Structure 1
Amino acid sequence: MKIIIAGAGEVGFHLAKLLSYESQEITLIDPNKLSLVYAESHLDIKALNGDATSIKMLNEAKVSSTELFIAVTSSQTTNITACVLAKQLGAKKTIARISNTEFIDFKDEVGFTKFGIDELISPEQLAAQEIELLLNQSVFNDTYEFENGALTMLGLNLTNTAKFIGKSVKEAAQMIPDVHFFPIAIQRQGSHLTIIPRGYTTLEEGDHVVFITSKGGDEELCKLAGIYKTEIRDVMILGGGRIGRKTSKSLAKKSNGRFNVKLIENSKERAFELADRLPNTLIIKGDGRNVELLEEENIAEMDAFIAVTGNSETNIISSLVAKNKGVKKTIALVENIDYFELSHSIGIDTLINKKLLAANSIFRYIRKGDVVAMTKLSSMDAELLEFIVKPKSKICNKIIKNLNFPETAIIGGVIRNGEGMLALGNFQIIEGDRVVVCCLPTSIKRVESFFF
């Protein structure tokens, strides 16, 4: 696939890096020559130094034959303009990164597709949504919803309280008559290897396990894992940037008074601005790295601590302090994706990354077959994809156990007519089903072939 990326910043470089690994034909455009030199020397891509809103530059990048044009510069105006021009010059699909999330809220009303913009993404909004979902599923490390929760991905570290420790997946499934959860990926403690489980795979203490659950599966999983769901009410947020502001606003708006939110912001000017814009949030002007300040603000009484400043190290250290003070749920924003491997070992419940969230949102346009949702599992080398089954798909009208599906992939569940169902061996896939598949990178092409 021929792809043009406008913007060699954090999101653009990360996208180019991931896509170049998959042998996509990537052209990266940026006015900053130094950014391009680094990208070109580290990635197998074509780099063009210039303005993505220049028609001459777009023609030089051969936009007329481009299947996907992605504008992810730091300027919302540049991204919108570049996408409009790219579409008029022949790009098949365009995606624009925006900062004003009103554009997403009113995209159907405004009709951005008429102007030539097919999709709008906001990494900050994606991060805020991820945080809210994690707070609603407080005992789990990772979470992702398919079709408004018809199926949900939940990540969990198994402790010695889990009743299925030492049992195979098949034996664990027999512990509840009508089970509503199923393991789809496992990472052993101290290992970077991702295992796609089979019926004979044994669950061990210390495993980080990702499950697919249908309605009620989260409660069953908590029961068998020996953990108790705790309601999160008191939340402390460190950092009043876009993510902190959006998270505070969203929690106050959607919770009907459920959440009590404190937000710590070091900038006096921004703190006053936030106080005006967030009347239902207690704004505290101060340095969140100051342990005395955190103690004065009763950090030990918080149910959740969310660190979303622009500094990854500050977010990690402050989250570790919060965990040490007894906070049940800690979430830290990090820029370095390599940090994901550290999250479970150092004690932070969840790390989130804007680049990865944006990449997940965009990646489904690159995958073959009718992919409607996609996420990469944090700290695991695996992807979770949702396909729509077409009449001519190889998988249509087939029983799962007869599919000869790759060993490094597994069908976790199916959404049919809005209802989520676990898909075991005797389940038959039919036209219109939305099939959720977990697979390692080595089997993605084979998995895609089942849904052409």
Structure 2
Amino acid sequence: MKIIIAGAGEVGFHLAKLLSFESQEITLIDPDKESLLSADNHLDIKAMKGDATSISILKDARVAESDLVIAVTSSETTNITVCVLAKQLGAKRTIARISNTEFIHHKEEVGFTKLGIDELISPEALAAAEIRLLLDQSAFSDTYEFEDGALTMVALNLTANMAFAGKSVKEAAQIFPKIRFVPIALQRFGTQFTIIPRGDTLLKDGDHVVFITSEGGAEELCKITGKKNTEIKNVMILGGSKIGYKTARDLADSGFRVKLIEKDKTRAFDIADELPNVLVINGDGRNVDLLEEENISKMDAFIAVTGNSEVNIMSSLVAKSKHVKKTIALVENMDYFQLSQSIGIDTLINKKLLAANTIFRYVRRGDVVAMTKLNNMNAELLEFKVKSRAKICNKLIRNAGFPRSAIIGGVIRNGIGKIALGDFRIEEGDRVVVCGLPSSIKEVEKLFL
């Protein structure tokens, strides 16, 4: 695919990096030479200095031949303009990053597709939605829903006292024959290697394991592992950023009791005026005395979403030391993932990764409905819609020719999620959730073409 990315900021650079690994033809456009320098030196892409709203620049980038134009500058006005121009100049598909979530809610009413914008994404809205889902599934360190929860991905760390620790996947299945969950990826403690489990794969103490669950499966998994999906009602949010504001607003509207700490006095008063159901405190969240004064030990969840990753990590560790049940920290540096999880923070979220997940499904071949990359693991989860012409259609899973480095986690049929094992037959209209290492994805895609 030929892909043009407008904006070499944190989201644009990360997308260019991920897509360049996919052997895509990438052109990155930005008016700031310094922003382009790192991408030009380290990535196999074409970097162009210039304003992406310039028609001549877009033509120089061969926009008429592009399969996808992604506008992810810091200005939503620029992003919308780039997409409108690109579509008029012949781009096949366009995606615009926006910060005003009203645009997403009124997408059909306004008619953005008629203007030339195929998709609107808001990293801030994606992060807020991810936080809400993590609070609903508080026992797990990572979670993702397919088709409103028909199938759900959850992740946890195994401990020696869990029933299937030390057993193979096959042995665990024999012990719990009617379970509604299946392991689809794991990472050994202290390593960076992602394993797609097979029947003979051992589940060991310390493994970080990702499961697919059908309805009721998450509760079963909690019961077997001794985890508890604790009801969360009292939430403290550090940082009145766009993510902090949206998260506070959405949680308060859903009946949560929310405290928000914001360092900037003007911003704190503005949020207090706009969110009367949220208790807003003007103060520095790095101050342990302030956190204790605001009864951090009585909070069910602590969410750190300032613009500083280090502040978010350290304040979350303070919250954990005060026995807060669920801690979530926003980080920008992907290198922090392994370190932070090993020292006790429940979940890390990253805007760049969330935005990339949403955009990646337009890059994948086959009818990809949803896609997510697993946090801190070298694997992808994809949801394919099966068409009658697909090679996998009307075949048993064990006869489908799946690569060993990929696995079908589950199938959604007529809105109902099912754990699909080798004797399950794939039918037209099924939505199939697949987990695979990057090396297997092209082979998997061919099965759904």
- Residue 175 of structure 1 deviates from its aligned partner by 3.0
Correspondence 1:341 to 2:361: no
Q: Secondary structure at the residue paired with 2:203?
A: coil
Counting only pairs closer than 5 Å after superposition, residues 417-436 of structure 1 correspond to structure 2 as 417-436=414-433
Q: Secondary structure at the residue paired with 2:232?
A: coil
Deviates more, 1:204-213 or 1:340-349: 340-349
Please give the TM-score of this superposition, normalised by the length of structure 2: 0.99
Counting only pairs closer than 5 Å after superposition, residues 262-277 of structure 1 correspond to structure 2 as 262-277=259-274
- Residue 367 of structure 1 deviates from its aligned partner by 0.6
Q: Secondary structure at the residue paired with 1:174?
A: helix
Q: Secondary structure at the residue paired with 2:175?
A: coil
Correspondence 1:315 to 2:312: yes
Task: State the distance in 2 between where 1:101 and 1:387 align.
Answer: 27
Contact 2:313 2:340 in 1 (8 A): no
Q: Which residue of 2 aligns with 1:16?
A: 16
Task: State the distance in 1 between where 2:277 and 2:175 align.
Answer: 45
Correspondence 1:384 to 2:381: yes
Q: Which residue of 2 aligns with 1:393?
A: 390
Contact 1:334 1:351 in 2 (8 A): yes
Q: Which residue of 1 aligns with 2:400?
A: 403
Q: Secondary structure at the residue paired with 1:56?
A: helix
Any stretches of 5+ residues in structure 1 without a counterpart? Answer: none
Q: Where do 4+ consecutive residues of structure 1 move more than 3 Å? A: none
Contact 1:188 1:206 in 2 (8 A): yes
Q: Secondary structure at the residue paired with 2:315?
A: helix
Correspondence 1:356 to 2:358: no
Q: Which residue of 2 aligns with 1:242?
A: 242
- Residue 445 of structure 1 deviates from its aligned partner by 0.7
Q: Which residue of 2 aligns with 1:290?
A: 287
Number of matched pairs:
449
Task: State the distance in 1 between where 2:335 and 2:9 align.
Answer: 18
Counting only pairs closer than 5 Å after superposition, residues 169-208 of structure 1 correspond to structure 2 as 169-208=169-208
Q: Which residue of 1 aligns with 2:151?
A: 151
- Residue 372 of structure 1 deviates from its aligned partner by 0.9
Deviates more, 1:420-429 or 1:159-168: 159-168
- Residue 14 of structure 1 deviates from its aligned partner by 0.5
Please give the TM-score of this superposition, normalised by the length of structure 1: 0.98
- Residue 171 of structure 1 deviates from its aligned partner by 2.1
Task: State the distance in 2 between where 1:161 and 1:284 align.
Answer: 42
Q: Identity of paired residues, percent?
A: 73
Task: State the distance in 1 between where 2:229 and 2:361 align.
Answer: 32
- Residue 174 of structure 1 deviates from its aligned partner by 2.8
User: Residue 105 of structure 1 aligns to which amino acid in structure 2?
Assistant: H
Q: Secondary structure at the residue paired with 2:129?
A: helix
User: Residue 278 of structure 1 aligns to which amino acid in structure 2?
Assistant: L
Any stretches of 5+ residues in structure 2 without a counterpart? Answer: none
Q: Which residue of 2 aligns with 1:89?
A: 89
Match of 2:437 among 437, 440, 444: 440
Q: Secondary structure at the residue paired with 1:79?
A: helix
Q: Which residue of 2 aligns with 1:105?
A: 105
CA displacement, residues 377-409 of structure 1 (integer Å, 9 cap, x when unaligned): 001100000011111111000000112211100
User: Residue 247 of structure 1 aligns to which amino acid in structure 2?
Assistant: T
Task: State the distance in 1 between where 2:174 and 2:340 align.
Answer: 32
User: Residue 392 of structure 2 aligns to which amino acid in structure 1?
Assistant: I
Q: Which residue of 2 aligns with 1:74?
A: 74
- Residue 295 of structure 1 deviates from its aligned partner by 0.6
Deviates more, 1:57-66 or 1:177-186: 177-186
- Residue 321 of structure 1 deviates from its aligned partner by 0.6
Correspondence 1:451 to 2:448: yes
Contact 1:161 1:227 in 2 (8 A): no
- Residue 344 of structure 1 deviates from its aligned partner by 2.2
Correspondence 1:413 to 2:410: yes
CA displacement, residues 284-343 of structure 1 (integer Å, 9 cap, x when unaligned): 000000000001011111111000000000000000111011111100000001111223
- Residue 161 of structure 1 deviates from its aligned partner by 3.0
CA displacement, residues 12-65 of structure 1 (integer Å, 9 cap, x when unaligned): 000001111111000011111111122111111111111111111111110000
Task: State the distance in 1 between where 2:251 and 2:173 align.
Answer: 36
Contact 1:163 1:226 in 2 (8 A): no
User: Residue 362 of structure 1 aligns to which amino acid in structure 2?
Assistant: I
Correspondence 1:222 to 2:219: no
Deviates more, 1:4-13 or 1:161-170: 161-170
- Residue 236 of structure 1 deviates from its aligned partner by 0.4
Q: Which residue of 1 aligns with 2:371?
A: 374
- Residue 228 of structure 1 deviates from its aligned partner by 2.1
Task: State the distance in 2 between where 1:229 and 1:41 align.
Answer: 46
Task: State the distance in 2 between where 1:117 and 1:432 align.
Answer: 28
- Residue 433 of structure 1 deviates from its aligned partner by 0.6
Contact 1:263 1:282 in 2 (8 A): yes
Task: State the distance in 2 between where 1:50 and 1:227 align.
Answer: 53
Task: State the distance in 2 between where 1:408 and 1:36 align.
Answer: 35
